[in-house]
């Protein structure tokens, strides 16, 4: 699984992405990446065959998600 903030210069997005990584890491391998442009990060993950991913964007911060 990959977890990426949509932009790396917004501390709120980076913080939320790292929070998600911390929640998931005890249960699975999670790859966190904030280097380069988002398109390059998507392409890198696609090249190595990452099956699932989470992208943290401004909508993520605006909504309050609850686990079922």
Give the full edge-to-edge strand order of the sheet including 2-5: 31-32, 2-5, 53-56
Cα distances (angstroms) measured from residue 68 to each of 7, 43, 49: 28, 31, 28
> Tens digits of per-residue pLDDT, 25-62?
999 999 999 988 999 999 999 999 999 999 999 988 88
pLDDT of 65 over the 70 cut? no
Six-digit token string for 33:
């990446």
| Entry pTM | 0.83
Model pLDDT, residue 53: 93
Model pLDDT, residue 67: 56
DSSP letter, residue 26: T
CA-closest candidate to residue 7, choices 64, 61, 65, 63: 61
Model pLDDT, residue 66: 61
């Amino acid at each position: 699984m990959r977890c990426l903030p949509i932009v790396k210069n917004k501390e709120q997005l980076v913080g939320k992405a790292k929070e998600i990584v911390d929640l998931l890491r005890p249960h699975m391998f999670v790859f966190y990446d904030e280097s380069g442009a988002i398109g390059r990060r998507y392409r890198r993950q696609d090249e190595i065959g990452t099956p699932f991913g989470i992208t943290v964007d401004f909508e993520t911060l605006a909504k309050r998600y609850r686990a079922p």
